Amino acid sequence: MNLPLASSSSSTSLIYGLVLWCYLILTVKAAFVIPHNQNNAALKNNNQPCNTPLKMSDSAAADLLYKEQEDLIVKRGRLEEELMSNTGAPLLASKVKVRGAGKAGGFGGGGGAGKSKAAALKTEAKSHAKVLKKDGVVRIDNVLPGDVADQLRTYLYDLRKKAESDVESGKVKPIQRFANVLLRKDRCDLTVPLGEDEITTVALQKVLLESAVGGTIKSILGKGSILYELSCLMS
């Protein structure tokens, strides 16, 4: 889970987008070539140590690669900030008009309200799906109840503290709690467990089954779509 959708302790809105993650694993090794005459001399005199560096360590190469990637993403961010400084506009929730919303409906049956709510969510989801297909991103407000959002936020920050403590003490390896990310100084990518009684599971059910988010995904990907990752950006 990405910890650095923007949320405050009293926020009741979350921004969700479909993100396709592409991981590029690079192994970089650097070697120094010894001139032919020096190489022969080193081979002939095996008893004397050779001080010529033969290979850069994998960790050093990884550090250099990380620094290069981080510098590139910082420069790109500054460029985009400059380009959008006078043209950028806040992402607003799309307005959806649901016929009959807020009015008494049905035929007096006990299940009328439930059917009406389901129909309203379906209509709202189709509208959000159109925006998502057109713009590539959509904002959906009121996805989580306020109390659930507050509980989730508190749980995640407590979980991060425990994860950091476990890593520092050597109890677990960093990769078991945090994914490798750039800009490590100001952000982290925390893996969050799902359990039957966890607030994360409750929140996931609210998002996918009780809000327009699940219907929006289904409208685009169909009923057979599979959720592989759900990210929540907090700052």
Domain boundaries, the chain: 22-88, 112-221
More confident residue, 180 or 47: 180
At 19 the pLDDT is 32
Q: Which of 119, 142, 128 is nearest to 95 (CA)?
A: 128
> Given CA atoms 28, 34, 40, 43 in this order, what sign does their dihedral have?
negative
- Sequence-ordered list of residues with C-beta below 8 angstroms from that of 1, at least 6 positions apart, any chain: 156, 189, 190, 191, 192, 230, 231, 232
Handedness of CA 132, 231, 125, 93 (dihedral sign): negative
The per-residue pLDDT for 36 is: 43
Which structure tokens are listed for 103? 């009015």
25-34, 83-92, 177-186 — most confident range:
83-92
pLDDT computed for residue 233 by the predictor: 74
Residue 26 pLDDT > 70, yes or no? no
Give pLDDT, residue 38: 46
Which DSSP category does 174 fall into? G
pLDDT-based confidence at 64, cuts 50/70/90? Answer: confident
pLDDT in tens, 121-145: 999 999 999 999 999 999 999 899 9
- Alpha carbon distance 18, 1 (integer Å): 14
Amino acid 218: pLDDT: 92
Average pLDDT estimate for 167-183: 85
- Which of 197, 195, 192 lies closest to 230 in space, CA to CA? 192
- The pLDDT value given to residue 25: 30
Query: What is the predicted pLDDT for the residue at 202?
Result: 92
As beta bridge partners, residue 110 has none
Give CA–CA dist 211/15, Å, rounded: 13
**pLDDT > 70 fraction of the chain, expressed in percent and rounded:** 66
Do residues 146 and 12 lie in contact, with contact meaning Cβ atoms separated by under 8 Å?
A: yes
pLDDT-based confidence at 77, cuts 50/70/90?
confident
Query: Looking up tokens 């929140």, which residue turns up?
Result: 203
- 202-213 pLDDT, tens digit each: 999 999 999 999
Lowest mean pLDDT of 62-66, 78-82, 180-184, 199-203, name the range. Answer: 180-184
How does pLDDT run across 177-202, given as a tens digit for each residue? 888 776 667 778 888 888 877 899 99
The alpha-helical segments, DSSP class H, found in the chain are 36-44, 58-84, 112-135, 146-168, 199-209, 212-221
Is a pLDDT exceeding 80 seen at residue 62? Answer: no
